[in-house]
Structure 1
Amino acid sequence: MFTSPASLSELTTRSQALAGLSLGQIATQLSIPVPENLKKDKGWVGQLLEQVLGATAGSKAEPDFPHLAVELKTLPIDQCGKPLESTYVCVAPLTGVAGLQWHESWVCRKLQHVLWVPILAERHIPLAERMIGTPFLWQPSAIQQQALQQDWEELMEKITLGGIADIKGAQGKLLQLRPKAANSKAMTNAIGANGEPIRTLPRGFYLKASFTASLLKQQFNLL
C-alpha cells in the first residue's frame, strides 16, 4: 500500500505518472496477481488503482481520498477515447428518503471532486495489457451540477412516490438509475405504488456514458 498523497498536486503528479503503464505493470509493482478476467473480480481494477495511488477510504461511506475530498473513478474507453459503459456512482437509497436534499446526498458528495482514470479496456485486450490514459481531476460546473441535481431529484421523487418499477435507464440526462445486484436473489426493501413495503432489486446511480464522453472531450479537446 502506497502512502496517501498529502495534496491535490501530489495526487495529480502520482496519477499522471501512471499514464502509459499497463495494468499488468502496475500489478507487478504491487506484487498483486492479475485475474484472468473481471467476471469474478469486478472491482479489481479500481482496487489496484486505489492501492497504487494511496486511497484510504476502502468501503467506508466517504470519498476515496477523504482528506482531499476526492473520489477515484476508472473510465474504460475504446481506441477512439469513447467510454465503453456508464459509470457506477453509488447505491440508491430506496426507503426513508422523504425530505432528503441533493446537497446531503451521497451522489452529490461523491461527484464534488473526481479523479478520472481513463483505461483503454476494449474486450479483446487481455486484462494485464490494458493501458492507463492520462488521469485528470474534475469538478462539476454550475450547469453540470444543476443538471445532476435535476436528474437526482426527479429519480428520487419517483422512488418516494412508489414508482421504482417505472424507472427506466433512459430517464435522466446525465444520471440514471439501474439495478445493481450480484444476482436476482439479492433483494432489498422499497416502497410500492400504493405506499406499501415491497421487495425489489437494489438500484445504483450511474453517470451516463454520453456524459463521461463529454468530460473527456472537454478535457482533451477531442473532436
Structure 2
Amino acid sequence: MKGLIRLDEVIVQLKQLFENASALAGMSFAELAAHQGMSVPNDLRRNKGWVGQLLESALGASAGSQALQDFPELGVELKTIPLDAAGKPLETTFVCTTPLINIHNLTWETSNVRNKLQCVLWIPIDGRREIPLAERTIGTAFLWQPSAEQEAQLRADWQEHMDKIALGEIDSISAHQGEVLQLRPKAANSRVLTEAIGADGKIIKTLPRGFYLKTQFTWQIICSTFGLETAPATHD
C-alpha cells in the first residue's frame, strides 16, 4: 500500500513539474531572471551554465553538482537545448563527466550516462547569438525517455568509448566517433588535468572528458516529439 501511495505522489509531482516547466514557454530570460532575483549576464562566454542554473532555480532542481538526476526524487534530468532560427539544435548536449580510472566493474546499466538519460525534461531555448541574451525566450518543454532503439544506440557508443578508455586509448578518441554519443575534453582550461589509463596500463594525466549527445540525435528527438520531418542537423 505504501508503494502505491509513493507512486501516486511521484506521478502528482511529475505532473506538477511538467506544468511548471510548460508555464515558462514564451518567457524571456530577463523576465524569468527577475522572478528569480538573478541578473542576466551580457553573454554566455564566461557564464556558459547560466541558463541551466536559471531554469534549475525556477523549477526547484535539487541535485546541484552531484552525480544525480536534477530531480532525483522523480528520476528526472533537466536539459536545455539551444535552437537556431529553424528550430534545430545549435550544439551538442552535455550528459555527464566520464570516469577514466577504476572502470573495470562499470556496466551500461550502472553508468551515469544511462542514469541521466532515463527520463529527461527537455527545455528548448532560443540560442541565436544575434539576439541579446536578455531577450531570448524559453520554448515548449517536453518529457522524453529513450526508446529501445535509442537506448541500444547509446549503449553501443558508450561501450565503444569505455572499451577504448580501458585499453589506454583515451587520446585516440575523437568527437567524430560515436553514432549518437560522443566523448570529448571537458575542462575550463588546459591546466585542468585528471588521471587516466595510459597505453602501457600506467596512470597518466590528461584532460577530463565528458559525454555529449550529438545534435543529429537531439534533432531526431525533437522531430519525433513534435511530429516534424527529419532533416540533417549540421552543428556537430
- TM tier relative to shorter chain: over 0.9
What is the alpha-carbon distance in structure 1 between the residues aligned to residue 36 and residue 148 of structure 2? 39
Residue type of the alignment partner of 2:157: D
The superposition leaves residues 49-102 of structure 1 with CA deviations (integer Å, 9 ceiling, x where unpaired) of 001111111112211111111000000001111000000000000011112100
1:218 corresponds to 2:224? yes
Residue type of the alignment partner of 1:176: Q
Q: 1:96 aligns with which of 91, 94, 102?
A: 102
Equivalent residue of 2:94, what SS? strand
> What is the TM-score when the length of structure 2 is the normalising length?
0.91
Offset of residue 6 of structure 1: 5.6
Offset of residue 141 of structure 1: 0.5
1:186 corresponds to 2:174? no
Q: How does 1:35-54 map to 2 (within 5 A)?
A: 35-54=41-60
1:196 corresponds to 2:202? yes
The count of corresponding residues between Structure 1 and Structure 2 is 219
Which position in structure 1 is the counterpart of 2:30? 24
Residue type of the alignment partner of 1:70: V
Residue type of the alignment partner of 1:104: T
Gaps of 5+ in 2: 1-10, 230-236
What is the alpha-carbon distance in structure 2 between the residues aligned to residue 35 and residue 162 of structure 1? 41
Which position in structure 2 is the counterpart of 1:157? 163
CA RMSD of the aligned region, Å?
1.1
What is the alpha-carbon distance in structure 2 between the residues aligned to residue 214 and residue 113 of structure 1? 16
Q: 2:122 aligns with which of 116, 120, 129?
A: 116
Residue type of the alignment partner of 1:46: G
1:107 corresponds to 2:113? yes
Identity %: 55
Which position in structure 2 is the counterpart of 1:142? 148
Residue type of the alignment partner of 1:78: D
Equivalent residue of 2:27, what SS? coil
Which position in structure 2 is the counterpart of 1:13? 19
Which position in structure 2 is the counterpart of 1:172? 178
What is the alpha-carbon distance in structure 1 between the residues aligned to residue 12 and residue 166 of structure 2? 41
1:86 corresponds to 2:98? no
